[in-house]
Chain A
Amino acid sequence: MSQNSQTPRGEMVTFMLNGAEVQADPNWNLLEAIQFYGIDIPTLCYDEGLTPYGVCRLCVVEIGSGDRTKLVTSCMHPVREGLEVRTHSNRVIKTRKMIMELLIARCPSSKKLQDMAALLELKEVRFKPLNDDCILCGLCVRMCEEQMVAKAIGFAGRGTDRYITTPFDMTSEECRRCGACMYICPACELRCQGPQAETVLCSGCINTEPVCASEYGDAMCFMVPCLSCVKGPEDVK
C-alpha cells in the first residue's frame, strides 16, 4: 500500500472503530485491526496466510460519516488515519445477511455456511436451493499458488459458469497431491471425506456424515485418483 508504506514503521495510525479511538499498525488491513481488537466479523475467503481476495464480501464494514458513508471489504481496505469504521451497523448486517442467504441457497448442505447463517440469525432463504458444493472463495487456488507454489488449480469460465479446476479439466501435472486445497476449503464437509478418517489428508471430515460423496464425480478434490477417498474411478458406474 503506497500510502501506508510512507508511514515509518512503528508509528501507529489512529482511527475510530465502533465509536472508540483505536490504534493500528499502518501495514494492517482493516480486518486485521478489527480482529486484533477482538471484534468478531464473518469471513469466508480470508486466511491470514494468503493474499486477501475480497470476494465473499461478508467482512464488509461501513466507513465514513454523515451522508458520505460506504461499505468496504475490511480484508482489502488498508487502515488509514482518521477512518470511521462501523462493523455492525444496520446496513452492514442487512448486507451480510443477504450475502449469506445467497450463499446458502447455492450450497445448502455446507455445515460451515449453516453455522455462519445461524450466527447471522438468517431465518429464511427466499431463493431456490441449487445444491452446489463450491462457493468460489478461491482459498484453494491461492493456497495452491502461494503456499504450495504449484499453480495446479485455478479459475475457469466466467460469471455463473465460473468454476475451479485443473488446467484443461484434466489431471494436473503440476499437482503434488498435497491436499492443501482440501485442508483450506471452508465448504468441503461433503466433499472429501473418506471412510477412514484418520488416514485422510485434511481430516476435515472426521465428524461428518455421510462418510463419502455418493458418487466419485461429486468429489471436488483435484486428484485422480483421490488419495483421501478409497474409491477410484473404477468404483463408480
Chain B
Amino acid sequence: MTVDESRLDSIIDEYNAEPGSLISILQDIQAEYNYLPAESLEYVASRLNIPRVQVFGVATFFKAFSLKPKGKQQIHVCMGTACHVRGSKRVLEELERKLEIKAGDTTENGEYTLETVNCVGACALGPVVVENEEYHGQMTPIKVENLLNGK
C-alpha cells in the first residue's frame, strides 16, 4: 500500500505537527486507511521529529490501532461487565463459529473483522454488538445469524 503524503501532511498539519498529538494523528490516519500502514508511521515519525521506536510503541500499545488492514464490515462485541453477566461470551463464540475466525481476526475474503471491546457504554441494552457503528442490543447467539444476514 502506498500512502498519499499530501493527505498525511494535511492530517499532521491540523495538529501543528505537535508530538503531543501523536495519538490523535494516528487515529485520523487509521480512519483514513482503516489501519496504520507502516509507511505512514515512518512518515509521522519524521514529520513530528520523534523516534520511530516511539511511534511504533504507541501504535502497538493502544487497542484502537491496527497495523493490519481491517475488514469492510467491523463487528465489535462488547465485553463490558453488564454485557458479560448477560451472556456476551456466548454471543462472541457464536460469531466466531459463524465467521470462522477468532476475535481480533479478519475473514480471508476481507469482508469481516471481529473484535471485542471493553464496554461501549450502552450497558442498558447488553449484550451489545456494534456493527459498523450501528448498535444491536439484547443480542443472543440465536440473533447472530440475522445480524450477519443484515436482517
Q: Is A77 an interface residue (CB 8 A)?
A: no
Q: In the complex, what distance in Å separates the CA atom of A154 from the CA atom of B52? A: 9
Given contacts A168-B38, A168-B41, contact A152 B61 (CB under 8 A): no
Interfacial chain A residues near B60, Cβ < 8 Å: 156-158
**Cβ-neighbour of B52 out of A155, A157, A158, A167 (below 8 A):** A167
A167 touches B53 (CB 8 A): yes
B51 touches A156 (CB 8 A): no
**A contact residues vs B (CB 8 Å cutoff):** 151-158, 165-168, 172-174
Q: In the complex, what distance in Å separates the CA atom of A154 from the CA atom of B58? A: 11
Q: Is B54 an interface residue (CB 8 A)?
A: yes
**B contact residues vs A (CB 8 Å cutoff):** 38, 41-42, 45, 51-57, 60-61
Q: In the complex, what distance in Å separates the CA atom of A84 from the CA atom of B11? A: 53
Q: In the complex, what distance in Å separates the CA atom of A173 from the CA atom of B45? A: 13
Q: Which one of A152, A156, A172 has the greatest number of beta carbons of chain B within 10 Å?
A: A156
Q: In the complex, what distance in Å separates the CA atom of A155 from the CA atom of B42? A: 17
Sample of 9 A–B contacts (CB below 8 Å): A151-B54, A153-B53, A154-B54, A154-B56, A156-B60, A166-B53, A168-B42, A174-B51, A174-B52
B53 to chain A, nearest CB (A): 4
Q: In the complex, what distance in Å separates the CA atom of A33 from the CA atom of B31? A: 51
Main secondary structure, interface of B, reads helix
A37 to chain B, nearest CB (A): 38
Q: In the complex, what distance in Å separates the CA atom of A166 from the CA atom of B56? A: 9
A158 touches B53 (CB 8 A): no
Given contacts A168-B38, A168-B41, contact A154 B61 (CB under 8 A): no
Task: Specify the chain B residue showing the minimal Cβ separation from A156.
Answer: B60
8 more A-B contacts (CB under 8 A) besides A151-B51, A167-B56, A174-B52? A151-B54, A153-B53, A156-B57, A165-B56, A167-B45, A167-B53, A168-B56, A174-B53
Q: In the complex, what distance in Å separates the CA atom of A165 from the CA atom of B61? A: 13
Q: In the complex, what distance in Å separates the CA atom of A156 from the CA atom of B53? A: 8
**Cβ-neighbour of A157 out of B53, B54, B61 (below 8 A):** B61
Q: In the complex, what distance in Å separates the CA atom of A156 from the CA atom of B58? A: 8
Task: Specify the chain B residue showing the minimal Cβ separation from A152.
Answer: B53
